[in-house]
Amino acid sequence: MPTYRKNPVVFVKGKGSYLWDIEGNKYLDCFPGWGVSGLGHCHPSLVKAVREQAGRLMHIANNYYNEVQGDLAKEISKNSFDGKCFFSNSGAEANEGAMKLARKYGHEKGKFKIISTLGSFHGRTLAAVTATGQPKYQQGFDPLVPGFIHVPFNDVEALRKAFDGEIIAVLLEPIQGEGGVHIATPEFLKEARRLCTERDALLILDEVQTGMGRTGKIFAYQHFGIEPDIMTLAKTLGGGIAIGAMIAQKRIGDVLQPATHATTFGGNPLACKAALAVFEILRKEKLAQRSAKMGKLLKKSFESLKKEFDFIKEVRGMGLMMAMELSIDGVELVKRCLEERLVINCTQGNVIRFMPAMTITEKELLQAIDIVRKVFRKGKASV
C-alpha cells in the first residue's frame, strides 16, 4: 500500500553513517531511519548480540517469564526511574499503552480526558493520531477517539485553563520532532508536572525520538529537573530492531492487570536483547556525552549557514536532534541533497532536520554541512 512517499532510491547495505544503493552508490546518512539507527547502521556489537540471541531463542509467548525481557526492564529503570515496563513493537504502540494505563487509572475517579499539544506527533494508530496535534494526520479517520484536548505548545496559561476535573493525563514530547523540532520550555514542563501532581493526573512523556542519548542525556526529561509518571520509548531503543517500551512509576505499574493490555510480539527475547546491547553500547562509547559534543558542532555549523543564507529563519534543537527553519520550501532542497548523496529530512514543508547517528565523526558531519552549503547556494540562485 502507498502509505509512504518513496524517494527514487533502493538501499541495500548500511555501515556506520553510510548507505549503499542497489547500483553501488554511497550515501552519507544524517537521518538514519527517523533516528532508529542511532548507533549507526549495523553496529558490530549490536549485530553480534542479535545473532547470538537469534540462535538461542527468538520468541516466547508472554504468558511465560522471559529473562531477557526482565533484564531490559531493569536496565530502563536503572537509567530513568524506579518503575515497571510494558514492551511493544513501536512508539505508537507504546503511546497507546500509556494512554490506556492513564484511562484505567482514572476510570473509577471519573477522569478520562488527556491533554496534548498542538504540533505534537504521537503515532498513527487511532488514539495516537487523535492525541497528535496536527489535523493533517487525522483527516478521513472520523470519528476520532473522544476525550482529547489540545493546547498550544509551551503555553503555560492555556495548559492551566484546560486542566478541568476530568483530566487524567498530560501527554508531551520534550522536543516536538515531526512538529518541527520545537523544544519544551522548562517552565512548561515544570508546570505540567506541578499540575499533574496537584490534580492526581499522570504526566506522560513521549521520548520516542528524544530518548536513548540523542539530546545529550539518556532521556531528554533529565535536562529539565522533572520526572514523568510514564515515559514511552522506541526508535533508537532497538538500534534497528523493532521494539517500543513504556515505563510507569511503581505506584501505578499494576494498574494494567492480565488481559487489560497486551501485544503478541512485544518484549520478545530477540528485540529485548537488541535493546540491551544498545544500552551497553551507549554506556561503553559514552554516546550521550558524544551527542552533546557533536550537537554543539552541528549547531555551530547550522548557525554559520544561517549567516550565509538569508532564507534560514531559525536554528534550533538539542544534541544531535537539530533543525533549520527556512522561509522557502525545504522539500526540494532535501531532494537535491539526496542527488548529492546526502540523506536528510524535511518536516512541515520548510524545516530541515538532522538526526545523525550518535557515532558520526566530525569529518562526516562537516562533509554533510559542505553538501548542504553547495545545495543551498544553488537553491539561493533559484529563489
Side chain identity at 321, as an amino acid letter?
Answer: M
Q: Which letter does DSSP use for residue 243 in this model?
A: -
- Three-state DSSP state, 363: helix
Please give the angle made by the CA atoms of 182, 76 and 319, to the nearest 5 degrees: 30
Hey, what's the cell of 366? 562537516
- Would you tell me how many other CB atoms lie within 10 Å of the CB of residue 272? 27
Strands laid side by side in the 351-354 sheet: 312-318, 321-326, 351-354, 345-347
Alpha carbons 157 and 191: distance in angstroms, whole number: 10
Considering all CA atoms of the chain, what is the largest pairwise distance in Å, rounded to the nearest integer?
A: 63
Side chain identity at 92, as an amino acid letter?
Answer: A
Alpha carbons 22 and 32: distance in angstroms, whole number: 17
Residues 6 or more apart in contact with residue 220 via CB below 8 angstroms:
174, 175, 205, 207, 210, 211, 214, 318
Could you please report the per-residue DSSP string of 272-329?
HHHHHHHHHHHHHTTHHHHHHHHHHHHHHHHHHHHHH-TTEEEEEEETTEEEEEESS-
- Residues 334, 18: contact at Cβ < 8 Å? no
| Residue 8 preceded by cis peptide, ω within 30 | no
H helix intervals, the chain: 44-54, 67-79, 91-107, 126-131, 156-162, 186-198, 269-284, 287-308, 331-339, 362-382
Residues designated as active site: 121, 206, 235
Side chain identity at 137, as an amino acid letter?
Answer: Y
Residue 61: its H or E element: none
